[in-house]
Chain A
Amino acid sequence: MTLMDPRLQEALDGERDPATLPPGLREAFARLAAAAQLLQEPPAVSVADRVMEQIRREASVPAVSPVGAALRLARWLARPRAVTLRLRPAWTLAIAAALAVVVLLPLGESVTPGEKEGIAQFVGHFPGARSVEVVGTFNDWRRGALPLSDEDHDGIWHGAVVLPAGQHEYMFVVDGERWVADPLAGRYVDDGFGAGRQNALLIVRP
Chain B
Amino acid sequence: MRLLVAFALAAGSLAAQSPHARLEGRVPAAALPGIDSLIAQAAAESLPTEPLVQKALEGGAKGIPVKRLVNGVRHGLVQLRDARAIVSRSTPDRAALDGDVASVAAALARGLDPQLVERLLTGAPPPGEPPGPVLHAAADLVAHGFPADSAADLLRTAQQEGLHGPRLLDVAVAASHELQREGGRTPVEALARVRAMLPNVPVAAPPHPRAVTRRPGPGS
**A residues lining the B interface (CB < 8 Å):** 106-111, 118-121, 135-143, 145-146, 158-164, 166-169, 171, 179, 186-195, 199, 201, 203, 205-206
Contact = CB atoms under 8 A, between A and B. Distances in A.
Given A106-B3, A135-B61, A191-B58, A163 B215 contact: yes
Contacts of A201: 110
B65 to A, nearest CB: 9
Interface in B167-220: 169, 204, 206-207, 209-220
B109 A189 contact: yes
Contacts of B136: 167, 187, 203
A148 to B, nearest CB: 11
B209 A119 contact: yes
A43 to B, nearest CB: 71
B211 A110 contact: yes
Contact of A137 (B103, B133, B220): B220
Contacts of B60: 141
B120 to A, nearest CB: 16
A194 B55 CA distance: 13
B90 interface: no
Q: Chain B interface residue count: which class?
A: 35 or more
Q: Chain B: interface secondary structure?
A: helix
A146 B215 CA distance: 9
A206 B204 CA distance: 12
A142 B22 CA distance: 11
Contacts of A179: 62
B116 interface: no
26 contacts: A108-B210, A109-B211, A109-B214, A110-B212, A111-B214, A121-B207, A121-B209, A138-B216, A139-B218, A141-B54, A141-B62, A145-B216, A146-B213, A160-B209, A160-B212, A161-B215, A167-B106, A167-B136, A179-B62, A187-B139, A187-B143, A191-B58, A199-B58, A203-B169, A205-B169, A205-B206
